């Protein structure tokens, strides 16, 4: 403890400096949502607050990034005491509520009708979760029991389970997707949090077989408090499914770029060990899980025996990821140079053809199309 200094001044590398640049391609819809958020931060409509580690409450941390994938000034740090990675400069609790309702899905997915998009996506997620449970011989635990989801969005996952004959119940703080799920999928969704859902469960006679947090727990600023509350509605036979983005999966799904993985609403960055340790301390034991993360827990004894990756181990892993990102970038460099040369030649040819009027004929329209097709092809190569 004595040799651990508080808050590192510099991020992991210059790549993570707050220069307002994005690390992903954004659609006009996403750019508009991002710009609205920046204006709200500027005018104090949205507030940023600094917080301690949500797992061990330590103040000691090392800075990883000064921004997220969209160039927003949220900070991600690693706890020097327990090694947990989290958003330490984040939206305040009140701002988070507004953000989740107004910009979260639009910024994340860039779609005009997020409710329909969410519902369709969640149907597919329902299939994946069902297959996961089946592969681990957990379906018998669900027979003649209620299926519950916390933070269910449009309720597509629950709609899938309902289609298989299960009785379902969910909750979400965002009214629009919840109402869409009720209208389209006839899914029983309570508008609110776990506390609102618990009130409804008092009148429910059917025992709970499965509770799900699918891509929702990482959005919650107080994860231990949340799980303590959900444990209160779990019987000895209830299982808890948790699906969150796993930070040890960054290399596979984010081109080794940590920045692409960071979002303003993702406050917690678990790997399977840190998630299992948190659950164990609350009295839930791991049945099965992976680093993706898909994990299932059951009621068990309180324990502190699960070892997590240390601060030093996680920093080493993050630095290795950053090195991998640089190597991948350098490997793409020749393609990038070819792209820029051909792209600019095509642009010059187009301008000159327009000047002398050749693009007005059908024959030269074909030339223009060939140039455009070549540029599109190089676009695809460039982003491989």
C-alpha 282/C-alpha 285 separation (Å) is: 9
pLDDT, tens only, 124-144: 999 999 999 999 999 999 999
| Per-residue confidence band for 6, with pLDDT thresholds at 50, 70 and 90 | very low
The CATH H-level superfamily of 113-306 is Vaccinia Virus protein VP39 (3.40.50.150)
Q: Between 320 and 6, where is the model more confident? A: 320
Residue (of 77, 31, 80, 51) closest to 221 by Cα position: 51
- Tell the residue number behind the tokens 């996961």, with chain if given: 132
In angstroms, how far is CA 29 from the centroid of its own chain? 18
**Model pTM greater than 0.75?**
yes
Mean pLDDT, rounded, of the chain: 88
Looking at residue 366, its pLDDT comes to 58
Torsion of CA 136, 171, 159, 114, to 10 degrees: -110
The kind and range of the H/E element at 294 are strand 294-299
So what's the pLDDT on residue 60?
96
Quick one: pLDDT band at residue 111, thresholds 50, 70, 90?
confident
- C-alpha closest to that of 110 among 23, 215, 21, 27: 27
Reported confidence tier of residue 75, pLDDT bands at 50, 70, 90: very high
Q: What is the DSSP string of 36-79?
A: HHHHHHHTTSS-EEE---TTT----EEEEESS-TT----EEEEE
| Other residues' Cβ atoms within 10 Å of the Cβ of residue 8 | 14
pLDDT at 7: 44
Contact 190, 171 (CB under 8 A): yes
Helix (H, G, I), strand (E, B) or coil at 212: strand
Cβ atoms 198, 230 nearer than 8 A = no
Question: Would you call 144 exposed, middle or buried from its count of C-beta atoms within 10 A (0-12, 13-18, 19+)?
Answer: exposed
pLDDT at position 253 over 70: yes
Residue 5 has pLDDT above 80, yes or no: no
Quick: pLDDT tens for 145-184: 999 999 999 999 999 999 999 999 999 999 999 999 999 9
Give CA–CA dist 12/328, Å, rounded.
18
pLDDT of residue 3: 45
Residue 378 — pLDDT band, cuts 50, 70, 90?
Answer: low
Summarize pLDDT for 256-275 with one digit per residue, the tens: 899 999 999 999 999 999 99
The pLDDT value recorded for residue 373 is: 63
Which of the two residues, 308 and 361, has the higher pLDDT score? 308
| Helical ranges in the chain per DSSP H | 28-42, 93-102, 104-109, 114-135, 156-163, 175-185, 194-201, 223-231, 250-253, 258-261, 272-282, 311-355, 362-382
Tokens of 125: 């997620």
For residue 384, pLDDT over 70 is answered with no
Lowest mean pLDDT among 139-143, 264-268, 305-309, 371-375: 371-375
């Amino acid at each position: 403890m004595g040799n651990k200094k508080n808050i590192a001044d510099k991020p992991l590398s210059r790549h993570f400096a707050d220069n307002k640049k994005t690390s992903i391609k954004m659609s006009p819809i996403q750019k508009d949502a991002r710009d609205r958020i920046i204006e709200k931060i500027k005018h104090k409509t949205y507030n940023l607050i600094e917080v301690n580690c949500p797992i061990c409450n330590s103040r000691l941390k090392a800075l990883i990034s000064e921004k997220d994938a969209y160039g927003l000034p949220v900070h991600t740090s690693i706890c020097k005491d327990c090694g947990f990675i989290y958003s330490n400069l984040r939206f305040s609790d009140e701002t988070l509520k507004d953000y989740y309702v107004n910009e979260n899905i639009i910024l994340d997915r860039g779609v005009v009708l997020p409710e329909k998009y969410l519902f369709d996506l969640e149907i597919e997620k329902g299939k994946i979760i069902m297959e996961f449970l089946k592969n681990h011989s957990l379906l018998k635990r669900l027979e003649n029991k209620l299926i519950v989801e916390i933070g269910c969005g449009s309720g597509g996952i629950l709609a899938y389970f309902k289609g298989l004959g299960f009785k379902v119940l969910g909750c979400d703080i965002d009214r629009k997707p919840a109402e869409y799920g009720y209208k389209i999928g006839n899914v029983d969704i309570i508008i609110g949090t776990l506390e609102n859902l618990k009130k409804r469960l008092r009148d429910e006679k059917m025992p709970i077989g499965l509770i799900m947090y699918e891509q929702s727990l990482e959005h919650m600023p107080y994860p231990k408090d949340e799980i303590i509350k959900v444990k209160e509605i779990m019987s000895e036979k209830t299982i808890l499914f948790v699906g969150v983005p796993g930070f040890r999966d960054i290399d596979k799904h984010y081109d080794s770029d940590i920045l692409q993985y960071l979002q303003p609403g993702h406050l917690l960055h678990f790997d399977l060990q840190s998630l299992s340790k948190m659950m164990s301390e609350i009295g839930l034991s791991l049945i099965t899980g992976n680093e993706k993360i898909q994990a299932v827990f059951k009621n068990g004894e309180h324990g502190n025996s699960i070892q997590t990756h240390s601060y030093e181990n996680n920093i080493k892993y993050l630095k290795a990821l950053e090195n991998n990102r640089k190597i991948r970038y350098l490997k793409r460099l020749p393609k990038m140079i070819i792209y820029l040369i051909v792209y600019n030649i095509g642009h010059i040819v187009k301008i000159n053809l327009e000047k002398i009027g050749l693009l007005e004929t059908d024959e030269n329209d074909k030339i223009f199309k060939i140039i455009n097709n070549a540029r599109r092809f190089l676009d695809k190569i460039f982003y491989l």
